[in-house]
């Protein structure tokens, strides 16, 4: 541009004129530069790994496009792992949703900024997010073979909770330990919805002669319904993608999908089919994504009343 300029405008003028005259697109592009570092980081450490998994899932061992890996998943051990994973997540989600909403309801009856509520919420935050390995150990200390409750029940009440074999490191144990973090998560997620219930609604029902049952059936139920379902879906996704607790509890064998992935991860070479782990990962993303989209939709529905 300068070479074409014979008149040599003053520097100030040149600076002003440049963006629009020489690169008309520059002014519209500048704002995008501000998000560039973020995009670069996310691109490298989030998008790229995701693409690796997704692309790998559809790649045969020779690098060509193939659906073999994904087809393998619909058979044998993988199918079983999936069924078990979904059963486990669904059960843990239901237990968590029911007990968690009851606990949340109990918390709402306390003062909004009281110590009880603060303590319960902080405790729930710890259990729901900190979780993982530490929870598994708390669990072993409680219900393990020499755990406190186990020993107490045996010594004082004569009940052997492991009379029918050690269920602790199997599905029932996993469901039980998963509820350790599912219930707190439900409390955290469901509490805002319960807080949204206005006392006026209850008073309105009562002044119109309605019973408590009618209030729950016709007012609170429909308002809370979407939130409850949404929270259950979130719990499902949470249980489905949980790994640490199960890994700490079950050190051998692979009853559920995340542990199956661990198998592939630690012994990829041995098994020869390197991309099955990625296919498993891909299918997990699909399941969780579907659940989360449903969750978002339900949340939008729930937001109508909970303003």
Partner 1 sequence: MLEFSTREGGGRRGFRAWAAIGDTPALVSAVTTSLTLAGLTVSAMLLLLVPTLAWVRLRLPRARRPVEFLCLLPLMIPAIVLVVGIAPLYAWVAYLLGDSPLTLTFVYVVLVLPFGYRAIDAGLAAIDLRTLAEAARGLGASWPTVLLRVVVPNIRSALVGASFLAVALVLGEFTVASLLNFDNFQVTINLLGKGDAELSVAVSLAAILTAFALLLAISFVGRRGRSSP
| Residue ranges in 90-129 that form contacts with partner 1 under rule CB under 8 A | 99, 103, 113, 118-127, 129
Nearer to partner 1, 128 or 302 (CB): 128
Q: Bin 211: left if φ > 0, else alpha if -120 < ψ < 50, else beta.
A: beta
Tracing tokens 């409850």 back to the chain, one arrives at 228
Name the minimum Å distance from CB 227 to partner 1.
Answer: 18
Nearer to partner 1, 137 or 162 (CB): 137
Instruction: Choose the binding region for partner 1 from 6-14, 33-41, 81-89, 195-203 (rule: CB under 8 A).
Output: 33-41
Name the minimum Å distance from CB 72 to partner 1.
Answer: 16
Nearer to partner 1, 94 or 220 (CB): 94
Whole-number Å distance between alpha carbons of 9 and 287: 62
Name the minimum Å distance from CB 200 to partner 1.
Answer: 24
Q: Which of 21, 51, 83, 204 binds partner 1 (CB under 8 A)?
A: 51
Q: Are 154 and 160 in contact (CB under 8 A)?
A: yes
Tracing tokens 């200390």 back to the chain, one arrives at 141
Residues 134-173 that bind partner 1 (CB under 8 A): 134-135, 137-142, 147-149
Whole-number Å distance between alpha carbons of 11 and 199: 68
Instruction: Choose the binding region for partner 1 from 34-42, 70-78, 89-97, 199-207 (rule: CB under 8 A).
Output: 34-42
Name the minimum Å distance from CB 220 to partner 1.
Answer: 24
Residues 271-290 that bind partner 1 (CB under 8 A): 277-278, 281-282, 284-285, 288-289
Whole-number Å distance between alpha carbons of 90 and 174: 12
Whole-number Å distance between alpha carbons of 255 and 172: 12
Question: Under the criterion CB under 8 A, does residue 250 sit at the interface with partner 1?
Answer: no
* Tokens describing residue 73: 């998943």
> How many of the chain's residues bind partner 1 (CB under 8 A)?
73
Whole-number Å distance between alpha carbons of 224 and 101: 11
Nearer to partner 1, 124 or 219 (CB): 124
Name the minimum Å distance from CB 246 to partner 1.
Answer: 10
Whole-number Å distance between alpha carbons of 186 and 191: 8
Burial (CB < 10 A; 0-12, 13-18, 19+), residue 291, is: buried
Burial (CB < 10 A; 0-12, 13-18, 19+), residue 35, is: exposed
Nearer to partner 1, 223 or 275 (CB): 275
Instruction: Choose the binding region for partner 1 from 86-94, 168-176, 222-230, 236-244 (rule: CB under 8 A).
Output: 236-244
Q: Are 283 and 82 in contact (CB under 8 A)?
A: yes
Residues 171-200 that bind partner 1 (CB under 8 A): 180, 183-184
């Amino acid at each position: 541009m300068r070479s074409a300029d014979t008149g040599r405008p003053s520097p100030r003028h040149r600076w002003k004129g440049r963006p629009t005259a020489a690169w008309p697109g520059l002014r519209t592009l500048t704002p995008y530069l501000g998000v560039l570092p973020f995009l670069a980081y996310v691109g490298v450490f989030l998008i790229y790994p995701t693409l690796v998994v997704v692309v790998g899932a559809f790649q045969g061992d020779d690098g060509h496009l193939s659906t073999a890996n994904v087809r393998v998943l619909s058979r044998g051990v993988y199918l079983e792992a999936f069924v078990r994973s979904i059963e486990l997540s669904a059960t843990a989600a239901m237990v968590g949703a029911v007990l968690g909403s009851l606990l949340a309801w109990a918390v709402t009856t306390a003062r909004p900024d009281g110590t009880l509520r603060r303590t319960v919420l902080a405790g729930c935050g710890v259990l729901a997010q900190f979780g993982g390995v530490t929870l598994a150990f708390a669990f072993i200390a409680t219900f393990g073979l020499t755990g406190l409750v186990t020993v107490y029940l045996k010594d004082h009440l004569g009940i052997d909770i492991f009379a029918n074999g050690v269920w602790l490191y199997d599905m029932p144990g996993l469901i039980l330990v998963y509820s350790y973090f599912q219930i707190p998560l439900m409390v955290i997620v469901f509490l805002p919805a319960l807080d949204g219930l206005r006392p006026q609604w209850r008073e309105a029902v009562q002044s119109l002669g309605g019973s408590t049952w009618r209030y729950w059936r016709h007012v609170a139920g429909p308002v809370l319904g979407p939130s409850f379902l949404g929270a259950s879906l979130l719990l499902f996704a949470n249980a489905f993608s949980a790994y640490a607790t199960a890994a700490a509890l079950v050190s051998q064998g692979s009853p559920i999908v995340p542990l199956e992935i661990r198998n592939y991860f630690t012994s990829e070479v041995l098994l020869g089919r390197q991309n099955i782990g990625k296919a498993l990962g891909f299918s997990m993303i699909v399941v969780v994504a579907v659940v989360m989209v449903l969750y978002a939709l339900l949340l939008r529905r729930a937001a109508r009343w909970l303003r």
